[in-house]
A = this chain, B = another copy of it.
């Protein structure tokens, strides 16, 4: 009864709070990162806030001229769409087809080459904002209350610092947890917190430091600026990731974009219903992989053709020769509505975080074909929790893929584990979207959230590990030992010399 009462009070408080609309600036973002931010921003608009999204003049996925509820602020960039598209293509090709056949040194060199190109493009984007007087003037005059950003797209920390407004991050992960650990001071003992991805160190630091110091006019670094973020909204939760130490200003809000399934379009529903008791399989390699080599596509298609289920495959490449009558290709499909359909038996996925969260939300077992970024990690975690089988795009055969799908459907434990994760996902004190909205509004209301920020940010590495204290005690100890030793040897000498004297007498 009292819980209900206090929830009513909270409800009234929320209603009261929403009347005080703030102005939110959103850092530019793309693709799956935008999918996660959008529901939070929509809720914030519903609650009376004004939302302005920074969008580059040339973008792979964002279109500021499309009708939208958001205001857009477009900035010019000195990169052509062609350069960006070629980079993405090369990045995908390296991850999907080349990496498996390279040795670690080759991978490292190629990765660094790609990262350097990415850094160059990123800095061009950043130039478009912080070096443009027009944009900076507009942003200053906008009197924003908060900057909301995914730090994967660099420079939001610098901009928040220049504008002097609070900063809230929305982050899935950084390589080897570098940003969370080094900039956010999140404790991450490698013995039980697996480093995300390749464990390579962040090579951007020196150039980042140069650029950041140049713009800011005083020596600083990207990491120091990132450390100023008030709240880190981490897009994961303990249904998905292994539990790990956290900090009071890290909020785990994974699954923000998840929602109940809507009815399917008539044509798709008809195909789904035609599957009978066997049910359907949903298959997507994500929005970035639109194409496969003919050989791979044929191999996959003939595996799918051997399954008793009907298969819906998101694929816009050339139609494979081996495509079975049970498989239909789609340029786009309502993935969440399909995953929430009662006939869905399994999800074949590249293991992107958004898709995995949707599968967890609806309790669907998975077959993972991960290729890059967090995808291999994501699938390792789903496999460890018994909700997925993982296969390798380059080494799998028709039989391996077919057997993997049959396993997650016929071995009941996969469905049970997927349902267990789903229960954990739904059974939390607050929905991830409401939690994200709460902390963004909190930061606006209180002009920051510094009371959640650990003192570790102000310490050097040797202070953090108390090495100065240890060194002090070591010196004291050594001094004591030295004094003790000298005293003993002095006494000993006196004793001996007396004895010698006596003997001499």
Contacts and interface: CB of A to CB of B under 8 A. Distances in A.
Given A46-B1, A446-B423, A452-B238, A434 B246 contact: no
Q: Which of A8, A42, A437, A454 has the most chain B CB atoms closer than 10 A to its own CB?
A: A454
Q: Which of A2, A3, A192, A249 has the most chain B CB atoms closer than 10 A to its own CB?
A: A3
Interface string A180-216: 0000001101111000000000000000000000000
A459 B191 contact: yes
A236 to B, nearest CB: 11
A10 interface: yes
Interface in A396-425: 423-424
Interface stretch (A122-130, A288-296, A460-468): A460-468
Nearest to A248: B243
A265 interface: no
Interface in A67-109: none
Interface string A252-267: 1000000000000000
Contact of A247 (B246, B446, B466): B246
Given A7-B7, A189-B466, A437-B3, A430 B429 contact: yes
A242 interface: yes
A442 interface: yes
Contacts of A190: 466
17 contacts: A3-B46, A4-B14, A6-B433, A7-B11, A7-B14, A187-B245, A189-B456, A189-B464, A192-B455, A238-B451, A243-B249, A243-B453, A243-B455, A244-B248, A244-B454, A245-B247, A246-B246
Interface of A: 1-4, 6-8, 10-11, 14-15, 18, 42-43, 46-47, 186-187, 189-192, 238-239, 242-249, 252, 423-424, 427, 429-431, 433-435, 437-439, 442, 445-446, 451-456, 459, 463-466, 469
